[in-house]
């Protein structure tokens, strides 16, 4: 029978957050791209929490934007509430988080894809990857209908759809999230090509009808009075909108009793679910059973959008049976008469076993095949989007015959994320956290453009005008810091009045402005009246001036640590190295090095089971080869 055959430069499999970023990057860089999805209505779907950003995840979104990605712009267009988290702490852990209108977020991102020149959207299930040659290189993909799409590069962004199974109680359905069709064929093709898969799990809470909630028993949670946009390109004035409130309530002993008395009916505890779930996003039954000393747990009631009555019950993810869910939710203050719109459920899915990807997110065993997102063993929309963007960029560089773009751990949270995914034996869905970044004082969300926009420009996703504006900003920061270093302050009544208003000790003798800014209770903006020669600078510049001055000593120390780190990252390991020929390597180290095949000495040293002594042996051997 005749079949369809078409030619593209790039095929992207999956149109979630990773797939959208990958496809847009490839198309924007001039490569004819087709993106496949099981449903066009699921493009950029948010099947779980209705928000973008949060602790460390906000950093990722800012970095995606700095490199030329779309997520930050899209949430700026479609958010309904925004908050800067951790404001009482230092700038390294400040993280922006925005509640999204789920439907609007998906619809708006779909519109961006539809309007992108060189990008085709296709609703069809990809059943097979096709390779050719030895060593194997990608040739294209085949769909369930038998149609063949030739491609120079393929990017897998399958999310949680591979052989997906949704479970609550004894109900088990082979569907993707939100009842969408699962991708049931591709797993077999991947395994036929020698790709190893594992089974992971994630979950989501119930959605409850707003009209059945008594908000008077809950604490209202409002957004920030002044909203900060995610994207460096968004006009701050455009995001000062009327925001929608969220609410806070708590579980109680009755909730916990319902769960404990029915724990034997939980698929998690009854053996129905065997896949591994995310440690840092546990179900409510996990929380109750693992933390018996806790008499309550936070529950956030979050709107799914402006034009829906569905409310997301954040903090009460579950796979308990339907009747238990009703009893459990209705025990929570304010939810006594709750009407469930969608049951909570767990979802199992296939994803890649660790050790099969290069740090460019290209498969080690198949040239031109890349992977990004939850199928790499991560969790979260933001982690997925970051990987999708990097996979798209590196697929383009592969087709151009250029060296891949690899961000170091010292340069970006994206660098930490990908390095952890390709070097660690992650036995559960990986979640980004600020504590994973060794150099987080340098990798702040506020300076993502200063750190990474140059890469976006070199790749071709950032315009010359954007780059010139950034260099003007960088120069303004540098010039102002240098000016402030030479400003003296006399002990006038005005100066001491400013200090006293902030609970700061008045000065009796002359002082330097820079020393006053460094006081914990003071900052650059508060001392404006004591600095009459100060130029009129944009807020983004003033923010950087303040941080660079206040934390100068800490920043300087961390930069020295980065210099040491860079030495081992720049010591590359030959791709053709035979670890069996390296004398004195311990057996465990030899096995780990053969499995993960690290790109550098630094990466080798981060593998579990590889000791500093093994690294020394490896260094000696590489030097002897030269």
Residue 2 has pLDDT above 70, yes or no: no
Would you call 562 exposed, middle or buried from its count of C-beta atoms within 10 A (0-12, 13-18, 19+)? Answer: middle
pLDDT at 333: 98
- Examine domains 5-158+185-202+349-459 and 571-625 and report if their fold is the same: no
pLDDT grade, residue 492 (50/70/90)?
A: confident
Q: What is the mean pLDDT of residues 578-600?
A: 91
What pLDDT, in 10s, does the model give residues 173-182? Answer: 999 998 899 9
Residue 269 has pLDDT above 90, yes or no: no
Q: Which residues have CB under 8 Å from 456's CB, separation 6+?
A: 66, 67, 68, 462
Strands 79-85 and 51-53: what pairing?
Answer: unpaired
Say if residues 51 and 481 touch (Cβ distance below 8 Å). no
Torsion (CA) 135, 139, 141, 147 in degrees, nearest 10: -140
pLDDT at 568: 87
Query: How is 137-155 classified by DSSP, letter by letter?
Result: EEEEEEETT--EEE-SEEE
Phi-psi domain of 345 (left: phi exceeds 0; alpha: psi -120 through 50; beta: other): beta
Q: In what order do the strands lie in the sheet with 10-13?
A: 119-123, 33-37, 10-13, 153-156, 369-371
For residue 249, list its beta bridge partners.
299
- What the block records as the tokens of 322 is 């339907």
Q: Which residue has the higher pLDDT, 154 or 273?
A: 154
Kindly report the CATH number that applies to the domain delimited by 207-346. 2.40.30.260
106-144 burial, b if ≥16 CB within 10 A, otherwise e?
bebbbebbeebebbbbbeebbbbbbbeeeebebbbbbbe
pLDDT grade, residue 273 (50/70/90)?
A: confident
Separation of alpha carbons 273 and 270, rounded Å: 8
Residue 550 DSSP SS3: helix
- Specify the range with the lowest mean pLDDT, choosing from 169-173, 247-251, 338-342: 169-173
pLDDT grade, residue 575 (50/70/90)?
A: confident
Residue 310 DSSP SS3: strand
Which strand (E) or helix (H) includes residue 204? strand 197-204
Q: Which residues have CB under 8 Å from 124's CB, separation 6+?
A: 36, 143, 144, 145, 147
Q: What is the mean pLDDT of residues 525-532?
A: 94
pLDDT grade, residue 281 (50/70/90)?
A: confident
pLDDT at 532: 92
What pLDDT, in 10s, does the model give residues 83-135? Answer: 999 998 999 999 999 999 999 999 999 999 999 999 999 999 999 999 999 99
Average pLDDT of every residue of the chain: 95
pLDDT at 171: 93
- Specify the range with the lowest mean pLDDT, choosing from 66-70, 139-143, 260-264, 265-269: 265-269
| Every domain of the chain and the residues it spans | 5-158+185-202+349-459, 207-346, 464-555, 571-625
- The CA-CA-CA angle for residues 115, 239, 40, to 5°, reads 30
pLDDT at 249: 98
What pLDDT, in 10s, does the model give residues 340-349? Answer: 999 999 999 9
Q: Which CATH class is domain 464-555?
A: mainly alpha
What pTM, to 2 d.p., does this model score? 0.95
Q: What is the mean pLDDT of residues 548-567?
A: 93
Distances (CA, A) of 34 to 106, 150, 210, 349, 508: 18, 11, 39, 24, 70
Q: Which CATH class is domain 5-158+185-202+349-459?
A: alpha beta
Highest mean pLDDT: which range of 32-41, 169-178, 603-612: 32-41
Q: What is the mean pLDDT of residues 51-77?
A: 98
Residue 270 has pLDDT above 80, yes or no: no
pLDDT grade, residue 280 (50/70/90)?
A: low
Q: Which CATH class is domain 571-625?
A: mainly alpha
- The CA-CA-CA angle for residues 386, 387, 388, to 5°, reads 90
Which strand (E) or helix (H) includes residue 349? strand 345-352
Q: What is the mean pLDDT of residues 12-21?
A: 98
């Amino acid at each position: 029978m005749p079949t369809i055959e078409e030619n593209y430069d790039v095929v992207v499999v999956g149109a979630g957050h990773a797939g959208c970023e990958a496809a847009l990057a490839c198309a924007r860089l001039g490569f004819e791209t087709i993106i496949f999805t099981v449903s066009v209505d699921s493009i950029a779907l948010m099947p779980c929490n209705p928000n973008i950003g949060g602790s460390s995840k906000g950093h990722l979104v800012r970095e995606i934007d700095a490199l030329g990605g779309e997520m930050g712009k899209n949430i700026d267009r479609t958010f309904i509430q925004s908050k800067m988290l951790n404001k009482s702490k230092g700038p390294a852990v400040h993280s922006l988080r925005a509640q999204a209108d789920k439907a609007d977020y998906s619809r708006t991102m779909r519109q961006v894809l539809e309007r992108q020149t060189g990008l085709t959207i296709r609703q069809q299930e990809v059943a097979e990857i096709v390779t050719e040659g030895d060593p194997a290189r990608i040739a294209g993909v085949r769909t369930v209908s038998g149609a063949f799409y030739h491609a120079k590069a393929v990017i897998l962004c399958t999310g949680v759809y591979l052989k997906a199974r949704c479970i609550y109680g004894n109900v088990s359905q082979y569907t993707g999230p939100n009842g969408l069709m699962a991708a049931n064929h591709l797993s077999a093709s991947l395994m036929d090509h020698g790709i190893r898969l594992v089974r992971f799990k994630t979950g989501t809470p119930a959605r409850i009808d707003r009209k059945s909630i008594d908000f008077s028993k809950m604490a209202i949670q409002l957004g920030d009075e002044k909203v900060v946009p995610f994207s460096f390109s968004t006009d701050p004035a455009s995001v000062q909108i009327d925001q929608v409130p969220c609410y806070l309530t708590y579980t109680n002993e009755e909730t916990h009793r319902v769960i404990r008395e029915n724990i034997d009916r939980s698929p998690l505890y009854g053996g129905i679910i065997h896949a591994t779930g995310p440690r840092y996003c546990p179900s409510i039954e996990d929380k109750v059973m693992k933390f018996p000393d806790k008499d309550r747990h936070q529950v956030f009631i979050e709107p799914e959008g402006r034009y829906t009555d569905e409310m997301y019950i954040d903090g009460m993810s579950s796979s308990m049976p339907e009747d238990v869910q009703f009893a459990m939710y209705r025990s929570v203050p304010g939810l006594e008469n709750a009407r469930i719109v969608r049951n909570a459920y767990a979802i199992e899915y296939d994803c890649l076993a660790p050790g099969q990807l290069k740090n460019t997110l290209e498969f080690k065993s198949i040239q031109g095949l890349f992977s990004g997102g939850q199928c790499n063993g991560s969790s979260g929309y933001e982690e997925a989007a970051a990987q999708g963007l990097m996979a798209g960029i590196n697929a383009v560089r592969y087709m151009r015959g250029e060296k891949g773009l690899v961000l170091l751990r010292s340069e970006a949270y994206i660098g930490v994320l990908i390095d952890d995914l390709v070097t660690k034996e992650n036995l559960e869905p990986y979640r980004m956290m600020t504590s994973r970044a060794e150099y987080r004082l340098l990798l702040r969300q506020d300076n993502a453009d200063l750190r990474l926009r140059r890469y976006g420009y070199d790749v071709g996703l950032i315009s010359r005008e954007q780059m010139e504006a950034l260099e003007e900003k960088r120069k303004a920061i540098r010039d102002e810091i240098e000016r402030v270093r030479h400003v003296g302050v006399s002990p006038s009544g005005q100066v001491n009045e400013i200090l006293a208003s902030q609970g700061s000790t008045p000065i009796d003798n002359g002082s330097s402005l820079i020393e006053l800014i460094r006081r914990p209770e003071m900052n650059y903006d508060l001392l404006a009246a004591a600095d009459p020669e100060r130029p009129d600078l944009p807020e983004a510049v003033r923010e950087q001036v303040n941080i660079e001055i206040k934390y100068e000593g800490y920043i300087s120390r961390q930069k020295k640590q980065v210099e040491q780190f860079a030495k081992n990252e720049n010591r590359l390991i030959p791709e053709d190295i035979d670890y069996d020929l390296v004398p004195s390597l311990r057996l465990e180290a030899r096995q780990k090095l053969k499995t993960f095949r690290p790109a550098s000495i630094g990466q080798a040293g981060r593998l579990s089971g590889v000791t500093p002594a093994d690294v020394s042996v490896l260094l000696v051997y590489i030097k002897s080869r030269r």
